[in-house]
Amino acid sequence: MSQFGTEFCDHFAIARFDGKAWQAAEIKPLEPICLHPAAHVFHYASTCFEGFKAYRWDDGKAHVFRLRDHVARMQKSAASLRLPVPETDLLAEMVRHLVARHTGEIPAPPSSLYLRPTLIGTLPNIGAAASPSTTALLYVLASPVGDYFAGGVRALKILVEDQRSRSTEQLGSTKTGGNYAAALGPTLAAKAEHGVDQVLFCPNGDVQETGAANFLLISDDEIVTKPLDTSFLHGMTRASILTLAKDLGYRINERNFTVTELLDWAGRYEAALSGTAATLTPVGTLVYRGKDIPVRDGQGGPNVDRLRKALQAIQYGQAPDTHGWLSTVDG
């Protein structure tokens, strides 16, 4: 399969907010969209998105993971950017109709259909730096994606960055383009200088997250991760792993911790990144102030594997969906 995010189904879902109300959504052939060069999004970054997956089970139907929760997170993102907030049913139905149309193209698990709702401010006004976009465009892309771990599970190497931030206090939990732009420079520099896969942003020593994934420490009986606040993105994978871990008897320890504590614990805890693309990926090495610090033996570990498999079994229809996370779409 082609590289993640580069292949698209030939239709997308689209709806407009005209300043007063959301217009009826349509499923249309995928085509370029036409925007005024003064559109708010191009100048003032009024944009947010979501990312989640639909899996095609042996029953031939598509099953969307945590659809309602992703819609709710998009609504929160939209509100924080003062963009028109899509109604729950509008966006959920756009996703359902698009998935229904393309169910036959969803490859079998562990492959899936990645869904990318996107909301942009379209108001043509270059004088609107300090005022919101009162018009908007909402669309949903569908992209068949392969198995993230096709080449085997590889433990990642990440740079521990204790000065710079990924985002800001007011937009850290908003899934908005500017945050990725902010993380890009430090991440590319870290890749070039240290050969790492990602940067773990820990401004003033506060361990937060990487450019697009949450960070967890996992032992045989405990998970340690930062409690929800506005500084980082509230991952649905993080929430799901914590719920499943609790079911399995792990103690959930949501607490702030510092780089000093992280380095101190690296010999005892497994570390992992969580996110929709890869579910749970082990971290094998931390790079801090030019030194490589192995996480345990540097190879990942059994608890990360166990929790990843527990989540995937539910997503793939191999274990009961005890928390009602999947929405069935009839093709």
Ligand X SMILES: *Cc1c(COP(=O)(O)O)cnc(C)c1O
Closest by Cα among 290, 288, 296 to 265: 296
Is the peptide bond preceding residue 132 cis, with omega within 30 degrees of 0? no
Beta bridge partners of 143: 114
Q: Find the shortest distance in angstroms from Cβ 210 to ligand X.
A: 7
Q: Are strands 198-201 and 156-161 parallel, antiparallel or unpaired?
A: parallel
Indicate the residue among 72 and 100 with the shorter CB distance to ligand X.
72
Indicate the residue among 94 and 242 with the shorter CB distance to ligand X.
242
Q: Find the shortest distance in angstroms from Cβ 223 to ligand X.
A: 15
Tokens coding 169: 């206090």
41 burial (CB, 10 Å; 0-12 / 13-18 / 19+) is buried
Does residue 267 contact residue 296 with C-beta atoms inside 8 Å?
yes
Tokens coding 23: 């217009």
Buried b (16+ CB within 10 A) or exposed e, 58-81: eeebbbbbbbebbbbbbbbbbebb
Closest by Cα among 211, 231, 214 to 271: 214
3-state secondary structure of 189: helix
Interface with ligand X by CB under 6 A: which residues? Answer: 51, 175, 209, 212-214, 233, 235-238, 274-276
Closest by Cα among 155, 190, 177, 149 to 277: 149
Indicate the residue among 25 and 241 with the shorter CB distance to ligand X.
241
Q: Find the shortest distance in angstroms from Cβ 120 to ligand X.
A: 17
Rounded Cα–Cα distance for residues 291 and 301 (Å): 22
Indicate the residue among 41 and 272 with the shorter CB distance to ligand X.
272
Indicate the residue among 233 and 271 with the shorter CB distance to ligand X.
233
Q: Find the shortest distance in angstroms from Cβ 72 to ligand X.
A: 12
Q: Find the shortest distance in angstroms from Cβ 176 to ligand X.
A: 9
Indicate the residue among 212 and 314 with the shorter CB distance to ligand X.
212
Q: Find the shortest distance in angstroms from Cβ 130 to ligand X.
A: 26
Rounded Cα–Cα distance for residues 60 and 70 (Å): 23
Does residue 104 contact residue 331 with C-beta atoms inside 8 Å?
yes
Indicate the residue among 122 and 274 with the shorter CB distance to ligand X.
274
Q: Find the shortest distance in angstroms from Cβ 179 to ligand X.
A: 6
Q: Find the shortest distance in angstroms from Cβ 237 to ligand X.
A: 3
Indicate the residue among 14 and 171 with the shorter CB distance to ligand X.
171
Rounded Cα–Cα distance for residues 279 and 276 (Å): 5
